[in-house]
Amino acid sequence: MNPERRLYRSTKDRMFAGVCGGIAEYLEVDPTLVRLVFVALTLLSSGAGLAMYVIMMLIVPEEPRDVQPTQPYKAKRADSEEPVVTSSIPVPNDTDSSQSDA
């Protein structure tokens, strides 16, 4: 058994609480099939599917969120020498405006 493989509520594929999405990720099946099974259990067994969903929503932990952003993004340091905002519109220097006043 793979120790890294755990059952979590999904944060990416969720309709309500992510239970069906998490089960689908764990079993590597389509989440729609898992949702249909829960609906069938709810309709055919006097609400057992709904009860199981609520219990799993309370017991199964939510999938941990990544601390690192998923897109390649490099944050600029505040003490860097590069300008934060660049523009193609020329802006006069402060020294130019003080000379025109004199």
13-39 pLDDT, tens per residue? Answer: 888 898 999 999 999 999 999 999 999
Mean of pLDDT over the chain = 77
Q: Are 62 and 16 in contact (CB under 8 A)?
A: no
The pTM for the full model equals 0.58
Torsion sign across C-alpha atoms 61, 51, 22, 14: negative
Helices and strands of the chain, counted as H and E runs: 4, 0
Report residue 22: phi and psi, to 5°.
-70, -40
The answer to whether 38 and 53 have CB atoms below 8 angstroms apart is yes
Whether residue 57 is predicted with pLDDT greater than 50 in this model: the reply is yes
The pLDDT of residue 5 = 82
Which distant-in-sequence residues (6+ apart) come within 8 Å of 10 by Cβ? 18, 20, 21, 22, 24, 25, 31, 63
Q: Contact, 25 vs 18, CB < 8 A?
A: no
At residue 72, the pLDDT reads 46
The per-residue pLDDT for range 72-94, each reduced to its tens digit, is 445 555 555 665 666 678 777 77
| Mean pLDDT calculated for residue range 37-50 | 91
> Is 99 a residue whose pLDDT tops 70?
no
Given a contact cutoff of 8 angstroms between Cβ atoms, the answer to whether 86 and 75 are in contact is: no
